[in-house]
Amino acid sequence: MRALTALTKETEASVSTTQLEKPVDAVRGPAREGPRSRARRSVTDVAFFAGRLFVWVWVVGTLILGLWLVVASFKDEATVFTSPWSVPTSPRVQSYVDAVQLFNLTDAFLNTVFVVSVSTMLVVAVSAPCAYALARWKFRGSGTLTFVLAAAVGVPVQVLFVPIYLAYSKIGMINSLWGVILIYVGMNIPFTTFLLVSFFRSLPGELEEAAAMDGSKTLRTFFTVMLPLARPGLSTAAIITAIGLWNEFLIALTFLGDDKKYTLTIGLLNLYGNMRYNTNWTALFAGVVISLLPLLVLYAWLSNKIIEGLTLGSGK
């Protein structure tokens, strides 16, 4: 860590002296003057270069890995691993057909879309009014509720799923997409509410007062003034929830054992598991591509919003 921070220091120093053409050395003191400083500068240049190289290796490596997978999904089973770096002359779509047919990926895809979209809508619909109330009103129990929500954000799903499983077994809700939706919504309310509370707090309070003076009652103000203004926050919350649920693993694995009810994550896991009996790697890759495509398109389109929402949202 110490070496690393030292490196950081050197690299930053080199940027300011070499790129910013400012007479910074003058204020830096005598340590930087004379031939020694030149030698040091070249050291810092090298360190900074190394740092940037590391960044690019990381970025390019990640990209290559992803691209390789896409390319591989169009290759045939024979050459995919024997000549891993070759690019197919004519793309083969059979893997996609296989993936869809053999592994029932259509169902998994549709199940996922259904579960994710319904849960997301419900989460936002339930959390938004609650967040608004917590952000704006003081009522009996509001402090407790805020505390409970904050604590709930940190509670692992593992703590929830055993009793729910037992209860669902008794009432026959295992393998029910609606059953999973109910859990998903409950799981996501705390974080979404938290995110939206801070969002509603950032909206100017005069607008509600103006609405009140205009004769508007609480409900009308909420629906016609506050909700439309909160749209950016609501969509951020929805996107974050949707991404999290699209990738959700544990609950789906536990509650959806029937392959007609698989979600994409579970479908993929099963595809992967099947590789030991019946290798069809290109179909697996095709499956991965299919399952990632919607997210990656969304990400390419809204990456800034998603990144901001996920980082600032969790930073409260």
Restricting to residues 260-289, which ones interact with another protein according to CB under 8 A?
Answer: 264-265, 268-276, 281, 284, 288
Is the Cβ of residue 29 or residue 34 nearer to another protein in the bound state? 29
Structural element, H or E, at residue 240: helix 231-246
| Piece of the chain touching another protein by CB under 8 A; list 33-41, 92-100, 102-110, 218-226 | 218-226
Q: What's the half-sphere exposure (Cβ side, CA atoms, 13 Å) at 286?
A: 26
φ, ψ dihedrals at 199, nearest 5°: -70, -45
Tell me which of 70, 126, 173, 238 binds another protein, using CB under 8 A.
Answer: 126
Tell me which of 21, 29, 34, 90 binds another protein, using CB under 8 A.
Answer: 29
How many residues comprise the chain?
A: 316
Triad 30, 35, 39: Cα angle to 5°: 105
Q: Report how far apart, in Å, the C-alpha atoms of 172 and of each of 165, 178, 262 are.
A: 10, 12, 17
Binding mask 155-194 for another protein (x = CB under 8 A): xxxxxxxxxxxxx-xx-----------xx-xxx-xx--x-
Distance, CA of 179 to CA of 193 (rounded, Å): 22
Q: If binding means CB under 8 A, how many residues of this protein chain bind another protein?
A: 131
Torsion of CA 285, 287, 289, 291, to 10 degrees: -150
Check binding of 301 to another protein (CB under 8 A).
Answer: no
**Contact positions with another protein (CB under 8 A) in 134-153:** 134, 137, 139, 145, 148-149, 151-152
**Contact positions with another protein (CB under 8 A) in 224-243:** 224-225, 228-229, 243
Which burial class, exposed, middle or buried, applies to 305 when counting CB atoms under 10 A from its CB (0-12, 13-18, 19+)?
A: middle
SS3 77: coil
Is the Cβ of residue 176 or residue 247 nearer to another protein in the bound state? 247
Check binding of 15 to another protein (CB under 8 A).
Answer: yes
**Contact positions with another protein (CB under 8 A) in 242-261:** 243, 246-247, 249-250, 253-254
Check binding of 85 to another protein (CB under 8 A).
Answer: yes
Asked if residues 84 and 50 have their Cβ atoms less than 8 Å apart, the reply is no
Q: How far is the CB of 213 from another protein (least distance, A)?
A: 4
Tell me which of 36, 38, 201, 220 binds another protein, using CB under 8 A.
Answer: 220
Asked if residues 51 and 34 have their Cβ atoms less than 8 Å apart, the reply is no
Instruction: Report residue 138 as tokens.
Output: 């003081």
Distance, CA of 271 to CA of 288 (rounded, Å): 10
**Contact positions with another protein (CB under 8 A) in 195-214:** 204, 206-214
Asked if residues 145 and 189 have their Cβ atoms less than 8 Å apart, the reply is no
Distance, CA of 153 to CA of 9 (rounded, Å): 36
Tell me which of 57, 63, 67, 97 binds another protein, using CB under 8 A.
Answer: 63
| Piece of the chain touching another protein by CB under 8 A; list 35-43, 78-86, 96-104, 113-121 | 78-86
| Piece of the chain touching another protein by CB under 8 A; list 63-71, 90-98, 102-110, 113-121 | 63-71
Check binding of 87 to another protein (CB under 8 A).
Answer: no
φ, ψ dihedrals at 216, nearest 5°: -90, 135
Is the Cβ of residue 89 or residue 311 nearer to another protein in the bound state? 311
